[in-house]
Amino acid sequence: MVLCPVIGKLLHKHVVLASASPRRQEILSNAGLRFEVVPSRFKEKLCKASFPTPSAYAVETAKQKALEVARRMHQKDLRAPDVVIGADTIVTIGGLILEKPVDKQDAYRMLSRLNGKEHSVFTGVAIVHCSDRDGRLHTEVLDFYEETTVKFSELSEELLREYIDSGEPMDKAGGYGIQALGGMLVEHVRGDFLNVVGFPLNHFCKKLAQLYCPPRPGDVRGAERDSIPAVDTFEDLSDLEGGGGSDPAWGGRGGRGGEEAGGAPPQAPGPRDADLNGAAEEKRPPFPTGLLELMEGFKASKALFTACKLNVFDVLRDQGPLKAVDIARKINASVCGTGRLLEACAALGLLHKTDAGYSNTEAADLHLVSDSAHSLHGLAVYNDSHVWDLFTHLDLAARDGAEQARGASGTKAERLFQSAETTLLFMRAMHGLSKLTARDVATAFDLSRFTSACDLGGCTGALAHELAREYPRLQVTVFDLPDVTEHARGFQPDGQRTEHVRFVPGDFFTDALPRAQLYVLSRVLHDWPDDRVHHLLSRISSCCEPGGGVLVAEAAAMEEEEAAAARRRGLQPLGLLLLGAGRPRSARELGQLLQRHGFRDVRVAPAGDLLRVVLGTRAAP
């Protein structure tokens, strides 16, 4: 039985739910939706700190879940489903995102944070419409989120332990399930209860109504009410699929003809109806939230960069929570200015603010403290001191080209290693970024058949050490400019297997390349124009014995990515416009480049959320 009329619009479509959650399945089934369950294989490893809000993170995760299922089904069946629904539910408190606990101790930490406090539950939802044109998958995504506020009672230690021992928290975001035993923890709920369970059905139905029933001019009064339209306001499903006439006022989607089925012809509008029609035609466009966020985005970046430059996160990791006056004294800054910076960082979810003062979020401790094992502090400082100035002259680059822009900004690429300070600044930035992705690159393919590798432009050796750890028989040579290899020793990890990595100074365009079975190019090719890339690959090919290989890791060109990942990578061409004549290349282009230079059996694999890895094997001459 279809409980919500708008659900009926999907009855004759192949609908897929990209979730194994029995709670989401139950909610949608009870509403009358018929669907196939295909759990997503998307690895939920998005960097939470890179999103402006928790809701943006939940929406992006939901979107990537749905897109992964759509792509996989299209590849497997040579056709895609009509609609794929993705969802992701998170719990947030004080800017910290709580997902499913990994063990009982993690569940206890989560529930202790929530004890006696209010928190927010966000569910991101993505509705992906799929089509197949010329054998290629095309998708259109509508996404949204719902927020519900939940207040926990003051709970005893004994009650928390008993609840955790029940096993219920282990597959629930935030460590509790409100629809079951977890309901005894909750004092009150403000908002959609089903959203806390795992799926905001009411908001979902409203979005379906927007998709399948855009308001007609005569429906303005109804549109003013925030409710799900009645069933008789919908066009027939067959009209959406090409049957029936086309109403230009409906954007060609296929509305009703001159008469409603079983009803009288529409009457000419009266004076008041005419006024309403005019008002509908002149209704205001949607509020441009996304554009305003883009316009204001540079302020958020600068706040993050400045806090890193002033070592705010280092101070709070060691001594927090602290008041603004104490932080100002420790970083040698004004109290007023420091207070504003701290407020901005708290608003961005980088800091917690309590009565005791400011303290780091989990993401800040993990990625923004300068000496953290997973630190991106160096990348933030490099962006602030170097890249920020380049983008200040983006208008010149757009008008005159890369060379003129570099001259105007006074930051030519050849000046990058003019001093030890700038060299180290660059190396710290690349080291943090490489450590973030090294394991994904090293494990994208099974490389155990190789016993020697040469990482060209390997900088600090972060990827080289990961390769050596992953493959015990592998000896890795890092080949980079002398100024880089001279400082690389300061980045070497403690522990075993450092003897399997050596550094050799040289220029891979002019100097003899070290002999190896496998050559590695990670984030190198996008820096160079096609002629230089062909020259480099030709040199590698001449050194590589038959059966040897080349491994290329690059951020894929924008057309191969989806949603926010594509938007992030979409900034790369702007950077390349300033930094040189290179460009991002798709995985297909990279594969064709390798084939042109004698490499066969070319394969492509993802490396986390940022990179694509291409592996080619040198064919016999």
Active site positions, annotated: 88
Dihedral, CA of residue 557, residue 558, residue 560 and residue 564, to nearest 10: 140
CB 64 within 8 Å of CB 51: no
Peptide bond into 5 cis (omega under 30): no
Collapsing DSSP to helix, strand or coil, 149 comes out as strand
Element (H, E) at 195: helix 193-197
Dist. CA 409–CA 390, nearest whole Å: 6
Cα(406)–Cα(413) distance, rounded to whole angstroms? 8
Q: What span, in angstroms and rounded, lies between the C-alpha atoms of 550 and 496?
A: 26
- What does DSSP assign to residue 387? I
Sign of the Cα torsion 22, 23, 29, 33 reads negative
For 582, phi and psi rounded to 5 degrees?
A: -75, 180
Q: Which long-range contacts (CB under 8 A, 24 or more apart) does 299-302 make?
A: 299/344, 300/52, 300/344, 300/348, 301/383, 302/384, 302/388
Residues in Cβ contact with 495 at an 8 Å cutoff, skipping those fewer than 6 apart: none
Q: How far is CA 448 from CA 518, 548, 600, 605, in A?
A: 11, 12, 18, 16
DSSP 171: G
Secondary element (H or E) of residue 554: strand 549-554
Beta strands in 483-548 (DSSP E): 501-505, 518-522
Indicate the SS3 state at residue 172: coil
Give CA angle at 423 (419, 426), nearest 5°.
145
